[in-house]
């Protein structure tokens, strides 16, 4: 079946602009996760949605980062007023409740 998809695959933006990154999880998966992969920090957890529960936002690095999940499916990660240190690959994953996470191809964000 279809895996996790993310768009865009690449995004180049100027410092100070807002960006939106999209994730389509595997159909039927109740949990959705965002991670960030960067050279200096490795793979870091950002935020986690499980069903209708309040999201776990404990990994968001600043209040410029936010995410929403509409209708229990698609999720959008928004970064406001981007900074150069936000440059990274943003990964989305989905899973059944407390089960193995399957990752998408990521969005490579470059902030100039």
Nearer residue to other proteins within complex by CB, 66 or 103: 103
Please report whether residue 26 would count as binding other proteins according to CB under 8 A.
Answer: no
Q: Are 32 and 48 in contact (CB under 8 A)?
A: yes
CB of 15 to other proteins, least distance (A): 27
Please report whether residue 82 would count as binding other proteins according to CB under 8 A.
Answer: no
Residue choice 33, 60, 107, 109 for contact with other proteins (CB under 8 A):
33
Of 69, 108, 99, 93, which is closest to residue 4 (Cα–Cα)? 93
Count the neighbouring beta carbons within 10 Å of the beta carbon of residue 9.
11
Please report whether residue 50 would count as binding other proteins according to CB under 8 A.
Answer: yes
């Amino acid at each position: 079946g279809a895996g996790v998809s993310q768009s865009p695959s690449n995004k180049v933006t100027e410092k100070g602009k807002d960006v939106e990154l999209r994730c389509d999880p595997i159909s039927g998966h109740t949990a959705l996760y965002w991670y960030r992969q960067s050279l200096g920090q490795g793979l870091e957890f950002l935020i986690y949605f499980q069903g209708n529960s309040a999201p776990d936002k404990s990994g968001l690095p600043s209040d410029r980062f936010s995410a929403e999940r509409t209708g229990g499916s698609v999720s959008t990660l928004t970064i406001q007023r981007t900074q150069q240190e936000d440059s990274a690959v943003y990964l989305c994953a989905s899973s059944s409740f407390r089960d193995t996470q399957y990752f998408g191809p990521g969005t490579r964000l470059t902030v100039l």
